[in-house]
Amino acid sequence: MLAMRVGAPLLLLLLMPGCAPKPVSESPEIDVTTLSVAQLQARLASADLSAVTLTRAYLDRIALIDDTTELNAIIEINPDALEIAAELDRHLASSGPLGPLHGLPVVLKANIDTADAMTTSAGSLALAHHYAASDAFVVQRLRAAGAVILAKANLSEWANFRDSESSSGWSSLGGQSRNPHVLDRNPCGSSSGSAAAVAASLAPLAVGTETNGSIVCPAGYNGIVGIKPTLGTVSRQGIIPISHSQDTAGPMAQTVTAAALLLESMIGVDPADAAAVAFPDAAGSLLPDASIQRLDGTRIGVLRTYFGQGSQPATEAIYQASVETLAELGATLVDPINYLRDEAQRKASYQVLLYEFKAGLNAYLDSHSVGDDVDSLADLIVFNEAYEERVMPHFGQSIFHDAQAKGGLQEAAYAEARTASIERLRRDVDALFAEHELDALVIPVNGTAWKTDWLGGDNYTFGGTAYLAAVTGYPSIVVPAGAVRGLPIALGFVGRAFAEREIIQIAYVFEQATNARISPQFIASLEADTLEAQ
């Protein structure tokens, strides 16, 4: 873990996982695992709890949990976190709360620019010395709302877009992030560290990013709430890109209300983001209405076609029970909804990502001084080959090579791929919503987490429904639904563009009725490897 800006010789030592110092302080005055974000927010606003005390408590918990369990959720501590918290305490005393997040610590995925003593590395050795000159727009929003930027989270290197045989949660700077429920299991997706940090109560709030499931997947597998907002409502400026057609940042938290609170502060029109759109009725709150405890009048389509269908009976029993709960809560169910994209769509979608990754990453590197003469994707490929022993000990860079082989965005093949994937899927999803007059789709999110495997890579065996929101750019939310042998299982809701309020309310009602979130137990391993057969 990289703890502060340091000179090159010490930096090389600190790049090794577990080598950097963690902050040490007196015992925390509060137990951060027992208080909700709403409770923390109230105590901070009333000065019953100081931002310094809260920040110190989370720093101590990171030191206690992240290293001792080798969870590796955090890649870098903000050395200025306590100073920021102290300034917020002074502001509260003189002028009141700065904003709705006043004093609340937030962890950022390490592909998000911060103009401070932390690097923006995407987990890559090539960006180990990259200090951004300015905050990403979303970070500006968080600071203005009063957040304490506590740390950066580990991630799948380059947001899991380097090699087809990658291990989710592994980066050359941060090592392997683990699932806090069962440590030899995978945390999934590129926002793996952000999700694991929230699940393990290393921070009350975290920001992840998603291109194709990287908020949805880790939220599900780590047993927390994640929201992927409508494309363009949260700025991508200052975030290392994959695809301008699909990239977005989004909130992660232990509850629906906390995730919605964070999302409210993240949303905002950024003139520097070409895809920026204004969220309708910006003055209205995204927070769920606690007085609504039923879903009467809500029409929900039940997706019955998904990857691995019939392969995990215990997981599917949770999905079925969740659907029945929605009916008991008053929702009108349209069951079944059968839709599964074909292979042509999937291949076209990958082509779009390759074209846009090359163009977007080259633009980002050209506008940022990242060091080591890395100014393009081609340079990164050369760098990784030069440092192959450290950068590619487990998997290579096949996706980098695929992207580098592409031409520019003016090529006809790129436009054809967009038509065959994004435009076609939007038409199909819009037709489903219109035909059945749906307010939301309910989807199975994940099966039981697989064992991390550096030889075989990720082993997705169930779900595969995140593409519905990811490719269309529509919003989705993930909420805990149950567990199989201590491993979380989640439910997801997908809405049409700008339907965040509706799906947040649906998820909240389901959350309140089921109370299905479980706290991680940091089990080393399941003794009998029979989980996949259930």
Task: Per-residue pLDDT tens, the chain, 534 aa: give them.
Answer: 333 322 332 233 233 333 333 343 344 478 999 999 999 999 999 999 999 999 999 999 999 999 899 999 999 999 999 999 999 999 999 999 999 999 999 999 999 999 999 999 999 999 999 999 999 999 999 999 999 999 999 999 999 999 999 999 999 999 999 999 999 999 999 999 999 999 999 999 999 999 999 999 999 999 999 999 999 999 999 999 999 999 999 999 999 999 999 999 999 999 999 889 999 875 589 999 999 999 999 999 999 999 999 999 999 999 999 999 999 999 999 999 999 999 999 999 999 999 999 999 999 999 998 877 899 999 999 999 999 999 999 999 999 999 999 999 999 999 999 999 999 999 999 999 999 999 999 999 999 999 999 999 999 999 999 999 999 999 999 999 999 999 999 999 999 999 999 999 999 999 999 999 999 999 999 965 544 444
Q: Which of 359, 366, 361, 374 is nearest to 127 (CA)?
A: 374
Active-site annotation holder among 190, 191, 194, 243: 190
Measured CA to CA in angstroms, residue 198 lies from 171, 192, 194, 310, 458 at distances of 19, 10, 6, 31, 22
pLDDT in tens, 323-352: 999 999 999 999 999 999 999 999 999 999
**Whole-angstrom Cα distance, residue 373 to residue 384?**
12
pLDDT at 62 (0 to 100): 97
Q: Classify the C-alpha dihedral 324-326-329-334 as positive or negative.
A: negative
pLDDT at 313 (0 to 100): 97
pLDDT at 284 (0 to 100): 80
H or E segment to which residue 61 belongs = helix 51-65
pLDDT in tens, 315-327: 999 999 999 999 9
* Interhelix angle 51-65/37-45, nearest 10 degrees: 140
- Helix or strand or coil: residue 518? coil
Question: Which residues 6+ apart lie within 8 Å of 345 measured at CB?
Answer: 420, 421, 424, 425
184: left (phi over 0), alpha (psi -120 to 50) or beta: alpha
pLDDT at 369 (0 to 100): 87
**Whole-angstrom Cα distance, residue 61 to residue 23?**
10
**Whole-angstrom Cα distance, residue 179 to residue 525?**
10
Number of other residues whose CB lies within 10 A of the CB of residue 91 = 16
pLDDT at 16 (0 to 100): 34
pLDDT in tens, 228-242: 999 999 999 999 999
Check if the beta carbon of residue 527 is closer than 8 Å to that of residue 495: no
Helix residue spans in 96-247 (DSSP H):
137-144, 157-160, 192-199, 216-222
pLDDT in tens, 81-107: 999 999 999 999 999 999 999 999 999
**Whole-angstrom Cα distance, residue 241 to residue 359?**
9
Write down the residue that tokens 């720093």 correspond to: 59
**Whole-angstrom Cα distance, residue 219 to residue 213?**
10
pLDDT at 283 (0 to 100): 58
Sheet of 299-303, strand order: 74-77, 148-153, 105-109, 205-210, 248-253, 225-228, 476-484, 487-494, 440-444, 299-303, 332-337
**Whole-angstrom Cα distance, residue 428 to residue 466?**
15
pLDDT at 24 (0 to 100): 37
Active-site annotation holder among 109, 152, 358, 406: 109
171 is catalytic: no
Encoding tokens for residue 71?
A: 């969870």
Number of other residues whose CB lies within 10 A of the CB of residue 223 = 31
In this structure, whether the domain defined by 8-18+35-524 belongs to CATH 3.90.1300.10 is answered with yes
pLDDT at 233 (0 to 100): 97
**Whole-angstrom Cα distance, residue 56 to residue 82?**
7
pLDDT at 282 (0 to 100): 59
Q: Which of 90, 102, 130, 103 is nearest to 114 (CA)?
A: 130
421 is catalytic: no
The Cα angle at residue 20 between residues 15 and 22, in degrees rounded to 5: 150
Q: Which of 518, 497, 458 is nearest to 307 (CA)?
A: 458
358 is catalytic: no
Write down the residue that tokens 């030889």 correspond to: 455
Number of other residues whose CB lies within 10 A of the CB of residue 527 = 7
Measured CA to CA in angstroms, residue 107 lies from 150, 200, 436, 481, 518 at distances of 6, 13, 40, 25, 21
